Chains A and B, each alone.
Chain A
Amino acid sequence: MRLPEIARTQAFHWNTFRGSLVASGLFAVCVILIIAFIYWPTSRYVTSSIDRLITDRANMFSSLSPQERLQALQQHLSEDPRRVKLAGLFDSQGNRIMGNIQSLPRGLLLDAPAQELSLVRIDAVGREQQTARTVARKLEDGQTLLVGRNTDELTEMGHTVERAVIWGLIPALCLGCLFGAFLSIRTQQRLNQVNQLIQRIVAGELHERLPVQGSAAFSELARLINGMLDEIEALLRNVAAVGDDIAHDLRTPLTNVRMTLERGRNKATSLDNLKASVDHAITGLDQSLTMVTALLRIAEIEHSRRLVGFRDVELAELVRDVADLYDPIAKEKDVALMVDAKEEIRVRGDRDFLFEAIANLVDNAVKFTPECGHVELKLCRIGRKSVVRITDTGRGIAASERDLVTHRFYRSDKSRGEPGLGLGLSLVVAIVKLHGCQFAISPSPTGRGCVAEIAFERAASQDS
């Protein structure tokens, strides 16, 4: 299998870079918007203040008598260190009477609100073209009064802001792009490294691990993936071990079958002889088949989540049936099989599976209990649980083996001589898991033998 990530590397690289480009662009737009929102209201506020000021002045000057007006205008123009005040008085022919404006500018509206005009200023310093807010008033004697204020300062301020935006933003954008490129390249290098490692892992080098370093996000991800790899490696090793066990346990009967058939072919002197060999071989093959079937069944039960077959099961009846089934075998072995299942307990489950699980436990108990021993099969309630308990007086299970016995194919060294598949308890565990109950094996309190328990959690509705 080949991971497609490597092929998409360049596209991914460009994506990261494009991301930072877009981010920088958005940043610039935001900055421009902020400045615009500050600049426009400010300049409008300043303009309207100027307009109010010059309108007030114009009104004030026009209300004065001609003599006073001249004086006031003189006074007004003399206090102007920054050369922003403009005023002029013109006769009805448009000739200047006094003031610092060369002539009536073109486009001048009389007795109108303030307007922006370009005019020529004349004073002690010299002539100068200026842009100004102006108000003009027609006076009663035919003269025209012009009051204005230079706004070049305001325009200059606008230009300053513009320059600031341009000279501030260009480096910021460049920096953003550079940083984006740097980030995307670095991320890309990391990803390439991870990709290569993962490819090696996929190729079978399961011991490889990702480096845990760099940014928190990356190292956290690496840690998670490494944890997953640990788990997979352990599982694989487990599977391999089970596979070895299966191969080993299958080889024994198959070798026997082969030998039997070979001997039958070479040594058989009659048809009956040959048939006997073949029968023997078939028994051996059946044993192998049983083992494979049992394994498949366990896998099937383990993977089964559907509970289609679940119904109410009378545990007492089930337990009595199991006891009834094993009674003759126990008697033949001179083992006393005692049943105590008086309480009627109903659980939700699959009748056949539960029977199989309990039968397996009784089978084991009877198998491992020596002559004159006894096996007790008991159904009872303990607290909120319904418990099926199988107690025997066999040789028991050592504490070190108690977990192992539920593993597939595990057989205690002491039981190697007994017939069996070593699959019984794994089957029990699978069935118990499917039913959501608990299974436990513990040493018998009397010191001899062991106790196997299947405990069902009782639902409230099943309380009687």
Chain B
Amino acid sequence: MPKVLLIEDHDETAQQIMDELSGHGYEVDRAATGIEGLDKARAGEADIMIVDRLLPGIDGLTIIEVARQEQVRTPVLVLSALGAVDDRIRGLRAGGDDYLTKPFAILELIARIEALLRRPAENRDTVLRLGPLELDLLERTATRDGRRLDLLPREFRLLEYMMRRKDQLLTRAMLFEEVWNYKFVPQSNLVDVHMGRLRRKVDPPGQPPMILNVRGEGFVLRAPS
């Protein structure tokens, strides 16, 4: 059972996050002030930390900086009501691994925690495989059951990212940040349209689908059972 340290002063927000995380099988330890949070962060017992940016006592970014200086390597997700670019950059510079602006969908938070906990190990394989799907990173080719898929460069990168994070829920914002590499939430269903095109190529009719749409939340790539 992965342990989460939640440093958040707002009771209601904290309670909601805790309920949701417990429901997803996490053990949650909450700190309501910066000082308490820093103590628990230093102890280094958690597998992941969620840190609110603005806290009474010690600021969230300071906690992260101090913990990082003391060689605490626990992944950190920063929460903030401030979404300005400067603030995000500061959050990541301080040693945060991901940044989420309030208000956020709780599932976005879960998906990002999952992603941080299951960060793919650096592997030097040049071929990624998942069920019938095979991706050759050197040749930039993709095949399903040996049949060549005709992918555009962006579709290839999208598929590569999903294969590295198989079985994980990937939200639109995450996909957009990682595959397009811009921090920006598009207004239209842009990611869906791109995903739709990729899906038509990866999941031809008559074969079990591998790209699953989790309604309203995001996408999962899974080997057919």
Task: Output the least CB separation between B219 and chain A (Å).
Answer: 15
- Taken together as a complex, chains A and B put the C-alpha atoms of A424 and B185 apart, in Å, by 12
- Given the known A-B contacts A321-B182, A325-B180, A329-B193, are A363 and B85 also in contact in the complex, defined by CB atoms under 8 Å? no
- Taken together as a complex, chains A and B put the C-alpha atoms of A279 and B215 apart, in Å, by 9
- Given the known A-B contacts A289-B103, A321-B180, A355-B182, are A282 and B216 also in contact in the complex, defined by CB atoms under 8 Å? yes
Query: What 0/1 pattern do residues 274 to 302 of A give for CB contact below 8 A with B?
Result: 00000100110010011001001100110
Q: Does the CB pair A329–B85 fall under 8 Å?
A: no
A326 within 8 A of B: yes
A436 within 8 A of B: no
A353 within 8 A of B: yes
Task: Output the least CB separation between A69 and chain B (Å).
Answer: 110
Enumerate B79-107 residues with CB–CB distance to A below 8 Å: 82-86, 89-90, 101, 103, 105
Q: Does the CB pair A286–B89 fall under 8 Å?
A: no
- Given the known A-B contacts A296-B83, A304-B84, A326-B190, are A352 and B197 also in contact in the complex, defined by CB atoms under 8 Å? no
Interface CB pairs A-B, < 8 A, 11: A289-B103, A293-B83, A301-B84, A304-B86, A321-B180, A328-B190, A350-B85, A352-B182, A353-B85, A355-B184, A359-B186
In the complex, besides A296-B83, A328-B196, 18 extra interface pairs with C-beta distance below 8 angstroms are A279-B216, A286-B105, A290-B185, A300-B84, A304-B84, A308-B90, A309-B86, A309-B89, A326-B190, A328-B193, A328-B197, A329-B190, A329-B193, A332-B193, A353-B85, A359-B186, A363-B188, A421-B187
Q: Which residues of A contact B186 (CB under 8 A)?
A: 325, 359, 363
Enumerate A434-453 residues with CB–CB distance to B below 8 Å: none
Q: Which residues of A contact B197 (CB under 8 A)?
A: 328
Q: Which residues of A contact B90 (CB under 8 A)?
A: 308
Size category of the B interface is 20 to 34
Query: What 0/1 pattern do residues 142 to 155 of B give for CB contact below 8 A with A?
Result: 00000000000010
A residues neighboring B (CB under 8 Å): 279, 282-283, 286, 289-290, 293, 296-297, 300-301, 304, 306, 308-309, 321, 324-326, 328-329, 332, 350-353, 355-356, 359-360, 363, 367, 420-421, 424
Q: 10 shortest A-B CB distances, which residue pairs? A: A309-B85, A308-B86, A328-B193, A300-B84, A352-B183, A355-B182, A356-B184, A329-B193, A306-B86, A352-B182
Q: Which residues of A contact B101 (CB under 8 A)?
A: 293
Q: Does the CB pair A328–B194 fall under 8 Å?
A: yes
Q: Which residues of A contact B188 (CB under 8 A)?
A: 329, 363, 367
- Taken together as a complex, chains A and B put the C-alpha atoms of A283 and B215 apart, in Å, by 11
Which one of B103, B105, B186, B187 has the highest number of Cβ atoms from chain A below 10 Å of its Cβ? B187
- Taken together as a complex, chains A and B put the C-alpha atoms of A329 and B215 apart, in Å, by 20
Q: Which residues of A contact B193 (CB under 8 A)?
A: 328-329, 332
Q: Does the CB pair A351–B83 fall under 8 Å?
A: no
Task: Output the least CB separation between A92 and chain B (Å).
Answer: 111
B residues neighboring A (CB under 8 Å): 82-86, 89-90, 101, 103, 105, 154, 180, 182-188, 190, 193-194, 196-197, 215-216
Q: Does the CB pair A324–B154 fall under 8 Å?
A: yes
Q: Which residues of B contact A293 (CB under 8 A)?
A: 83, 101, 103
Tell me the dominant secondary structure on chain A's binding face. helix
Task: Output the least CB separation between A325 and chain B (Å).
Answer: 6
Q: Does the CB pair A359–B85 fall under 8 Å?
A: no
Q: Which residue of A lies closest to B81 (CB)?
A: A296
- Taken together as a complex, chains A and B put the C-alpha atoms of A41 and B199 apart, in Å, by 113
- Taken together as a complex, chains A and B put the C-alpha atoms of A308 and B89 apart, in Å, by 8
Q: Does the CB pair A363–B187 fall under 8 Å?
A: yes
- Taken together as a complex, chains A and B put the C-alpha atoms of A321 and B179 apart, in Å, by 11
Task: Output the least CB separation between A410 and chain B (Å).
Answer: 16
- Given the known A-B contacts A279-B216, A321-B182, A352-B182, are A424 and B82 also in contact in the complex, defined by CB atoms under 8 Å? no
Task: Output the least CB separation between B23 and chain A (Å).
Answer: 16
- Taken together as a complex, chains A and B put the C-alpha atoms of A301 and B154 apart, in Å, by 30
Q: Which residues of B contact A363 (CB under 8 A)?
A: 186-188
Q: Which residues of A contact B82 (CB under 8 A)?
A: 300
Q: Which residues of B contact A309 (CB under 8 A)?
A: 85-86, 89
Q: Which residue of A lies closest to B186 (CB)?
A: A359
- Given the known A-B contacts A279-B215, A283-B216, A359-B184, are A352 and B190 also in contact in the complex, defined by CB atoms under 8 Å? no
- Taken together as a complex, chains A and B put the C-alpha atoms of A301 and B82 apart, in Å, by 11
- Taken together as a complex, chains A and B put the C-alpha atoms of A201 and B161 apart, in Å, by 61
Task: Output the least CB separation between B178 and chain A (Å).
Answer: 14
Task: Output the least CB separation between B74 and chain A (Å).
Answer: 26
Q: Which residues of A contact B190 (CB under 8 A)?
A: 325-326, 328-329
Task: Output the least CB separation between A308 and chain B (Å).
Answer: 4
Q: Which residue of B lies closest to A326 (CB)?
A: B190
Which one of A282, A290, A300, A325 has the highest number of Cβ atoms from chain B below 10 Å of its Cβ? A325
- Taken together as a complex, chains A and B put the C-alpha atoms of A417 and B55 apart, in Å, by 44
Q: Which residues of A contact B215 (CB under 8 A)?
A: 279
Q: Which residues of B contact A359 (CB under 8 A)?
A: 184, 186
Q: Which residue of B lies closest to A321 (CB)?
A: B180
Task: Output the least CB separation between A6 and chain B (Å).
Answer: 39
Q: Which residues of B contact A321 (CB under 8 A)?
A: 180, 182
Q: Which residue of B lies closest to A283 (CB)?
A: B216
Task: Output the least CB separation between B193 and chain A (Å).
Answer: 5
Q: Which residue of B lies closest to A355 (CB)?
A: B182
Q: Does the CB pair A300–B184 fall under 8 Å?
A: no
- Taken together as a complex, chains A and B put the C-alpha atoms of A352 and B105 apart, in Å, by 22
- Taken together as a complex, chains A and B put the C-alpha atoms of A286 and B104 apart, in Å, by 10
Task: Output the least CB separation between A242 and chain B (Å).
Answer: 20
Q: Which residues of B contact A300 (CB under 8 A)?
A: 82-84
